[in-house]
Chains A and B, each alone.
Chain A
Amino acid sequence: MDAYNTWTIAEARDKLKAREITSEEITLSCISAIDDADALGAFVHKTPDKAVEQARSADLLLKQGDAPSLCGIPLGIKDLFACEGVPTQAASKILNGFKPEYESTVTQNLKNAGAVTLGKVNMDEFAMGSSNETSVYGNAVNPWKFSDKALTPGGSSGGSASAVAADLCLAAIGTDTGGSIRQPAAFTGIVGIKPTYGRCSRWGIVAFASSLDQAGPMCKSVRDTAIMLEAMCGFDHKDSTSSESPVPNFEAMLTGNIKNKKIGIPREYRLDGMSPQIESLWKDGADMLRSAGAEVVDISLPHTKYALPAYYVIAPAEASSNLARYDGVRFGRRAKLNAGESITEMYERSRSEGFGNEVQRRVMIGTYVLSAGFYDAYYNRARKVRSLIKKDFEDVFAAGIDAILTPTTPSAAFELGKLETADPVEMYLNDVFTVTVNLAGLPGISVPAGLNSEGLPLGLQLIGRPWEEGDLMNIAHILESATGFVEKPVKWW
């Protein structure tokens, strides 16, 4: 079988429209790639029958000549998105067996655009983690390898990243609360964008931290993210924070012209002991944008250092509130009760048996920072710091900066199990460059920048002005062409 699964969305779309190929052929090629890749732990609930059925409907539409933008394109869906009749359990034991009676707005939008859904992909439990090691399904594994070590694909959208990098699907959707699209994209050599807060409806996405969560596409090219993001986003009356901002034709905004754009390089992102390879890729990226006609200037975002600690108050606080719904009553797993056990024991045991360690830890930290006597000292202080972090960005944008260039992560993908015995804070440091973007509600995109000396991909992040994803992707597109990253992992699975 030809490797149609390796195609980009743009490539497949053009060939589908030209009737050179059918969606069914592309879909079958993905299904066979998925069945051959169980070692990656990427797909955790496969829906091949549904996929083939959707592909056939897409082929009919294509034949009639009125095909929508993603008609016939097979995608992977993060297990956080409710899909009607398909197991949806946020990689948690507590949602074992849960089959939603409804469809998330984002997946519905994708289906309305003609997309084919191949099944659910792996993730960290409730999207809490940066290595996909907290999943009830077991680890997702990075298709990239260094000297036979099994590496993390990053997290929390680790299954999405692994699936796209290994060509199990043409693209996938992820969600990003503190870096969960961009960090795994960087670790696997793909492109991932977190749009402006409010772009994508959160309705039907299992909630982690509602003021930070956003869905976004994870793709093989910037053009693909533009095509897919446009299909995903838009106003939804079911999410009161979703925006009425008009959704432009993002792909048409990839003009390749970034003359007179002003790119900021924030000095606070230069960490002590940062790998020289990341430092030099960062510098190369700035040079490439300069050669393309942009002006590159040093900027300061003075509160950067406080973003992670503020995040680790706000996100657990919101999580403790959101996850209160898992009580073993309306849906999800209930602990087996012994005779005479009360409803409180039912809650407590259902939650301790159903939630993994990291989720329990965050729910309890959140409970603590919201509890009487500590609310002001922790939660309110963190929200004030969040205001200051947002103001840092507003100040540089007001000074004429169009986008900000940073590394996506402080390191390349690390070995699975490496941080098992480390203290929880060490894992949190993975998000040091990405978390500011969620706190400020801005769009951020990770683009593959090159390989390190171990042959592992590294990413660069561009941060844009709110609602200007089109402009941001245009700059990212230039960076993508300039770095010329075409490497793929060598198949071992």
Chain B
Amino acid sequence: MSIDRATAARVAKLARIKVDDSSLDILAAEFNQILGFIEQLNEVDVEGVEPMTSVSPQKLKRRMDQVSDGDQQERVLSNAPDAREGFFAVPKVVE
């Protein structure tokens, strides 16, 4: 599988990372090096093997669906790049 400029641009878009047009060729080349390395996995016979979902056999813990914390609006917002009137502020998303 070889990654071309267009695929590199599509992946960058999916990952929401801006990549300049001038860097796309280098990026595609790096992807190809890494994917070339990963291709080795095709040598392994995985017939009938279950994909791992959890490395330790323990069951995922459950708890009651109850509020256990809250009323910390100021602290929640304290690291926001732009917080106004108790909300996170972002550029306009609807016209």
Contact = CB atoms under 8 A, between A and B. Distances in A.
Interface of A: 97-101, 196-198, 211, 237, 240-241, 243-244, 303, 305-306, 308-310, 312-313, 320, 324, 327-334, 337, 341-349, 351-352, 355, 360-361, 363-369, 371, 377-378, 380-388, 390, 423-425, 428, 439-441, 466
Contacts of A198: 56, 58
B15 A328 contact: no
A309 B91 contact: no
A16 B7 CA distance: 61
Size band of the interface chain B makes with A: 35 or more
A280 B80 CA distance: 54
A367 B14 contact: yes
A378 B75 contact: no
Contact of A364 (B12, B56, B60, B90): B12
Contacts of B46: 381, 384-385, 388
A30 to B, nearest CB: 29
A125 to B, nearest CB: 14
B34 A425 contact: yes
B89 to A, nearest CB: 9
Contact of A440 (B17, B37, B42, B55): B55
Contacts of B82: 334
A347 B81 contact: no
B30 A313 contact: no
Contact of A383 (B3, B52, B91): B52
B84 interface: no
B83 to A, nearest CB: 9
A424 B40 contact: no
Interface string B39-67: 11111101001111111101011010000
Contacts of B50: 384, 387
A424 B49 contact: no
B79 interface: yes
B15 A367 contact: yes
Contacts of B35: 365, 368
Contact of B38 (A305, A309, A334, A348): A309
B91 A305 contact: no
The 3 A-B pairs at the shortest CB distance, nearest first, are namely A441-B55, A383-B51, A331-B79
A386 B90 CA distance: 41
B34 A312 contact: yes
Nearest to A439: B55
Contacts of A305: 40
A441 B41 contact: no
A364 B31 contact: yes
A370 to B, nearest CB: 9
Nearest to B63: A237
Given A211-B54, A329-B80, A343-B92, 13 more contacts: A100-B79, A101-B79, A303-B44, A312-B37, A378-B41, A384-B50, A386-B51, A387-B51, A423-B33, A424-B33, A425-B37, A428-B37, A440-B55
A213 to B, nearest CB: 11
A382 B35 CA distance: 12
Contacts of B90: 329, 343, 346
Nearest to A323: B15
A388 to B, nearest CB: 6
Given A334-B81, A384-B50, A363 B17 contact: yes
9 contacts: A198-B58, A211-B55, A306-B41, A342-B91, A351-B16, A352-B19, A388-B46, A425-B33, A425-B34
A306 B60 contact: no
Contact of B51 (A329, A348, A384, A439): A384
A364 B27 contact: yes
Contact of A333 (B31, B42, B81, B92): B81
B14 to A, nearest CB: 5
A365 B88 CA distance: 30
